[in-house]
């Protein structure tokens, strides 16, 4: 059984990753014939997290997972380690006596409990007393209601999480209102569109990224770039000796590392180093998500039945958030770079054959499974390949961002 698992980032006040909400479904449908939905969900959870390893999916961060009433009653959350699992009680779970009792039991075992899409009702008070986190939909709840909830429910060990925070303005408002954690894609939007030109240092990094992704780039020229930059050389050796490669013998020389990585590997490595420097003042997740998209697009391209250039798809994913990284419009940035017209068409206008790959990556990371299914069919992809591609992209991104 193929298990689709996506993760949506949750940030703290400093825009550092606090955890991920995990979104999942099975690879063929949202149900199994002859098995009820709760049993199916249990199987998906068990198979994915015990087989794949939950730490690999979340990078050892907290995992927020939705649980229905029946899954709670069956004590399914207790199958998973309490140091990483956050039990999200869905909004349609009624606070019945047996639900309250099992939540107390789960809490007593050291699990954190979050109430999802919270709306206050007096009968919810017993669950509120048990909960560690209250999740409030920032767009579906009025500002007046939110302020009332925070004032009424605040206590020392209760935290508030703002969901669906999609802009920096919303992040700042939620922060000012007293929220502790923030979920949504505000981090992937430009903060301020100043219209000012980017610095020469930033332009140099962009040119490096564009240069290494040309089809006719000079291998020796790239080798010289690495050799004269101590920081890049150090990162290359750390990357080549990371756990991702599982090497028996360490790599000690730059030349050896370059030979082992190969042309495409060096392209990717230098592109990612440049991207990390460009985004040094941005949330780490912005670079991480760009890296995941890049690798995911590349891997899907290799498995595609159509004639596409995987290297070009890597560049597509990597540049997909460059507007947020440099706080400028995609149009302005693309005008400065010697990228192909196909790439620019996808990045600026969301059009062309390449755009399907980027759309697939974005839909997958957000857990928009309906769109993923539509794209799988339209792109004639083998459905069993996508979970493998996504997990490989997650592991690869974690290996790179840890150096």
| Number of domains composing the chain | 2
Please indicate, yes or no, whether residues 253 and 284 belong to a single structural domain of this protein: yes
Instruction: Return the pLDDT at 33.
Output: 42
Task: Give per-residue pLDDT as tens, 352-377.
Answer: 989 999 999 999 999 999 999 999 99
User: What pLDDT sits at residue 196?
Assistant: 54
CB 385 within 8 A of CB 300: yes
Within a domain: residue 110? yes
Stretches where the chain sits below pLDDT 50 are: 28, 30-35
pLDDT of residue 3: 72
- Whichever domain contains 314, its CATH number is 1.10.3210.10
Range of the domain at 291: 200-401
User: Residue written as tokens 């969900």?
Assistant: 41
Quote the pLDDT of residue 40: 58
Q: For residues 185 and 336, what is the distance between their CA atoms, to the nearest angstrom?
A: 26
pTM of the model: 0.84
- The last residue of one of the domains, among 159, 188, 217, is 188
Domain boundary residue, one of 145, 164, 188: 188
Residue labelled with tokens 């992704």:
213
End residue of a domain, out of 167, 188, 209: 188
Specify whether 159 is located in the same domain as 231: no
Residues 205 and 273: beta-carbon distance below 8 Å: no
Is residue 146 within 8 A of residue 177, CB to CB? The reply is yes
Residue 195 inside a domain? The answer is: no
Q: Any idea what the CATH number is for the domain that residue 24 is in? A: 3.20.20.450
- Can you read off the two tokens belonging to residue 138? 């920032």
């Amino acid at each position: 059984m193929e298990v689709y698992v996506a993760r949506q980032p949750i940030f703290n006040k400093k825009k550092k990753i606090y955890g991920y909400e995990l979104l999942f479904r099975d690879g063929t449908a949202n149900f199994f014939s002859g098995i009820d939905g709760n049993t199916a969900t249990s199987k998906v959870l068990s198979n994915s997290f015990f087989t794949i390893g939950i730490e690999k999916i979340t990078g050892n961060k907290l995992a927020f997972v939705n649980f229905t009433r029946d899954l709670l009653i069956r004590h399914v959350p207790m199958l998973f380690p309490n140091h990483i699992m956050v039990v999200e009680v869905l909004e349609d779970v009624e606070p019945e006596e047996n639900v309250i009792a099992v939540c107390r039991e789960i809490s007593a075992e050291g699990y954190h409990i979050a109430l999802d899409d919270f709306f206050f009702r007096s009968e919810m008070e017993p669950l509120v007393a048990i909960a560690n986190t209250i999740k409030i939909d920032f767009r579906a709840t009025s500002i007046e209601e939110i302020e009332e909830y925070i004032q009424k429910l605040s206590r020392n060990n209760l935290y508030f999480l703002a969901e669906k925070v999609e802009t920096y303005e919303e992040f700042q408002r939620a922060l000012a209102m007293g929220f502790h954690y923030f979920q949504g894609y505000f981090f992937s939007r430009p903060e301020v569109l100043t219209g000012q030109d980017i610095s020469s240092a930033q332009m140099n990094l962009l040119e490096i990224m564009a240069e290494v992704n040309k089809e006719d780039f000079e291998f020796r020229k790239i080798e010289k770039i690495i050799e004269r930059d101590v920081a890049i050389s150090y990162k290359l050796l750390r990357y080549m000796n990371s756990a991702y490669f599982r090497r028996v013998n360490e790599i000690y020389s730059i030349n050896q590392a370059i030979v082992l990585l190969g042309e495409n590997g060096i392209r990717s490595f230098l592109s990612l180093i440049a991207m990390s420097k460009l985004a040094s003042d941005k949330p780490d997740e912005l670079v991480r998500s760009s890296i995941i998209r890049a690798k995911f697009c590349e891997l899907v391209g290799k498995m595609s039945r159509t004639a596409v250039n995987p290297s070009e798809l890597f560049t597509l994913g990597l540049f997909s958030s460059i507007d947020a990284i440099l706080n400028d419009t995609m149009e302005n940035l693309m005008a400065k770079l010697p990228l192909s017209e196909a790439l620019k068409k996808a990045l600026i206008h969301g059009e062309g054959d390449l755009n399907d790959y980027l759309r697939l990556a974005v839909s997958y990371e957000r857990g928009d499974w309906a769109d993923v299914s539509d794209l799988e069919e339209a792109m004639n992809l083998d459905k069993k390949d996508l979970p493998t591609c996504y997990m490989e992209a997650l592991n690869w991104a974690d290996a790179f961002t840890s150096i």
